[in-house]
Amino acid sequence: MNSFTNKTLITQEFAVPPFTKQIQPFPGLSSKMEPRPDHGEVSYRGTGRLTGRKALITGGDSGIGRAVAIAYAREGADVAINYLPDEEQDAAEVVKLIEAEGRKAVAIPGDIQSEDFCNKLVKEAVSQLNGLDILVNNAGRQQFNESILTLSSEDFDATFKTNVYAMFWITKAALEYLPAGSSIINTTSVQAYEPSAILLDYAQTKAAIAAFTKALAKQLGEQQIRVNAVAPGPYWTPLQICGGQPQDKVEQFGATAPLGRPGQPVEIAPLYVTFAETSNSFTSGQIWCSDGGTGTV
């Protein structure tokens, strides 16, 4: 008898390219993507690994940040999310999903390109959550540009302000409140190691995040605060369809990965959960990659 005749399918089926060409104005909405990304709204099941924890997630309305917010709530954490005001529609959905788990949800819209807002963001999150012990610096800006000659100083500055400066400002502000045993988790990218020609500024910021993570882990070791990062490869999020990729690349997005498709946000959320768990108390200064099999990091 063939031992595989009645085997159980243990992997979920996810969307594969080609995708419909689509573009949205920045910053984009998950709710308007085709196909709609899977953030674990239905599939993620928690086991109480973060019970009683309090997390702040930037970019928590959509994409990877949304998947992390859902996962954290289902693992027992209260969650504050930051997002741009234009992303209110997606953010409202996340708030409902967090509250459906019986957890506290805090929505704090605002632009993290402002140092003043970053400081206010942390204070409001701490106040409404009554503490903070997980910080996820996830929000990012990605706009492709074919040449350094057409990459404006304004765009270059906006990418660095969103991806690097905000991480610095928010982390610095959060350290006033983070107790021993806390976890800081940053979102870098495979672009830090294998940069695309059209993502010159974005790739630089992701390399900076990787270095920031490793250096800060050494600084905060004595305080027993762990610092790690996750490096996504091609993931199906609004980042890609609101200027992050040319339309011809959107159509075949993720096709060159060994698994033949882009990742869905729900597939990377467990890495953020693992980094946040107190049981991983000796894991710091690490960068974990999820890129569909290329083994970049």
What is the spatial distance between Cα 189 and Cα 184, in angstroms, rounded to a whole number?
A: 16
With a cut of 60, say whether residue 7 has pLDDT above it.
Answer: no
Which tokens is 66 given? 């949304």
Give tens-digit pLDDT for 53-109.
Answer: 999 999 999 999 999 999 999 999 999 999 999 999 999 999 999 999 999 999 999
Active site residue 177: no
With a cut of 90, say whether residue 11 has pLDDT above it.
Answer: no
Strands ordered across the beta sheet of 226-232:
105-109, 78-83, 54-58, 134-137, 183-187, 226-232, 287-290
- Catalytic residue, candidates 44, 177, 202, 235: 202
Kindly provide the residue ranges of all beta strands, DSSP E only, lying in 177-292, ordered along the sequence: 183-187, 226-232, 287-290
Domain limits, the chain: 44-290
What is the spatial distance between Cα 66 and Cα 133, in angstroms, rounded to a whole number?
A: 18
User: How high is the pLDDT of residue 1?
Assistant: 35
* 3.40.50.1820, 3.40.50.720, 3.30.470.20, 3.40.190.80: CATH of 44-290: 3.40.50.720
With a cut of 60, say whether residue 4 has pLDDT above it.
Answer: no
Beta bridge partner(s), residue 232: 290
Give tens-digit pLDDT for 157-190.
Answer: 999 999 999 999 999 999 999 999 999 999 999 9
Pairing of strands 105-109, 134-137: unpaired
Residue 30 DSSP one-character state: G
Give tens-digit pLDDT for 190-240.
Answer: 999 999 999 999 999 999 999 999 999 999 999 999 999 999 999 999 999
With a cut of 60, say whether residue 6 has pLDDT above it.
Answer: no
User: How high is the pLDDT of residue 42?
Assistant: 95
